[in-house]
Structure 1
Amino acid sequence: MRLHRANRDTVFKLVVVAGLMFGFGYAMVPMYRHICAALGINVLTLGEQKVPGAVGERRNTQVDLSRTITIEFDANARGPWDFKPEVRSVRVHPGELTTVVYEFRNRQDRTMAAQAIPSYAPKQATSHFTKLECFCFAEHKLQPGESKRWPVTFIIDPRLPKDVRTITLSYTFFEVGGRVPAVPGGSV
Structure 2
Amino acid sequence: MTEAMSTKRLVTWLFVLVVGMFGFGFALVPIYDVICDAFGINGKTNSSAYAGGDEVVDETRDIRIQFISSNAEGMVWRFGPETSELVLHPGEPQVVNFTAHNPTSKPMVAQAIPSVAPSTAAAYLHKTECFCFEQQVLQPGETVEMPVRFIIDPGLPREVRRMTLAYTLFDVTERMSDLIEVAALQTN
Shared fold (TM-score, shorter chain, > 0.5): yes
Q: Which moved more, 1:103-112 or 1:11-20?
A: 103-112
Correspondence for 1:106: 102
Q: 1:11 to 1:37 in 2, by over 3 A?
A: same
User: Percent identity between the aligned chains?
Assistant: 38
1:170 aligns with 2:166: yes
Q: 1:159 to 1:32 in 2, by over 3 A?
A: closer
Correspondence for 1:11: 11
Say if 1:116 and 1:135, in contact at 8 Å, map to a contact too.
no
Correspondence for 1:23: 23
Structure richer in helix, relative to its length: 2
Deviations 1:126-146 (A, max 9, x none): 443322332334454555544
Deviations 1:114-173 (A, max 9, x none): 33222235x664443322332334454555544443221111223445676554323232
Correspondence for 1:136: 132
Counterpart AA for 2:28:
M
Counterpart AA for 1:71:
I
Match of 2:69 among 50, 53, 75: 75
Other structure's SS at 1:170 match? strand
Say if 1:113 and 1:180, in contact at 8 Å, map to a contact too.
no
Match of 2:117 among 117, 120, 125: 120
Say if 1:128 and 1:159, in contact at 8 Å, map to a contact too.
yes
Q: 1:41 to 1:99 in 2, by over 3 A?
A: same
Aligned residues: 176
Counterpart AA for 1:114:
Q
- TM-score w.r.t. the length of structure 2 is 0.69
Q: Which moved more, 1:2-11 or 1:80-89?
A: 2-11
Deviations 1:15-59 (A, max 9, x none): 1111111111111121122222222222214xx17x768x9xx96
Say if 1:104 and 1:148, in contact at 8 Å, map to a contact too.
yes
Counterpart AA for 1:62:
V
Q: 1:180 to 1:97 in 2, by over 3 A?
A: same
